[in-house]
Amino acid sequence: MLRNVVERTFGTWKKRFPILVHPLEYNLKTQGDLVLALAVLHNMIIKHNGHSEYFEDPDYNGAAPDDDEIPDDDDDADDANSLSRAQARAAHKLWRDKIAQEMWEQYSTYLQQRNHR
């Protein structure tokens, strides 16, 4: 089950990020960093529903916005935003822990089957 999720995820990433389709000529650490960076970018695209000035503006050069471009939010909005971030972190932690537990159970089952041969 987890393997299917991972394979579907990489299939999606390969369609979105063609660099993953071809063999990479980077060392293993750089390849790992690239996958992590693309995972973050993929999640940002999903979070913004693919609609963000950073994804749509062909002239955007990747520079951080100037201070005067960042809107001033009131404290209530900051509190709500912090709460939603905290909730998202908690949900991601539960999801990550569930995946880890499933992986551990699969590995334990594998070891038991291997030892009974």
User: What is the rounded distance in angstroms from the CA atom of residue 100 to the CA atom of residue 18?
Assistant: 29
Comparing 69 with 112, the larger pLDDT belongs to 112
The domain locations on the chain are 1-65, 75-117
Share of the chain above pLDDT 90, in %: 1
Burial 31-68 (b: 16+ CB within 10 A, else e): eeeeeeeeeeeeeeeeeeeeeeeeeeeeeeeeeeeeee
The stretch 87-93 carries a mean pLDDT of 82
The distance in angstroms from the start CA to the end CA of the chain is: 24
Q: Are 19 and 25 in contact (CB under 8 A)?
A: no
Q: How far apart are CA 25 and CA 39, in angstroms?
A: 20
The pLDDT-based confidence of 76 (bands split at 50, 70, 90) is: low
Q: What is the pLDDT of residue 116?
A: 80
CA 69 – CA 22 distance, rounded (Å): 38
The pLDDT confidence band at residue 50, using thresholds 50, 70 and 90, is low
The structure's pTM equals 0.41
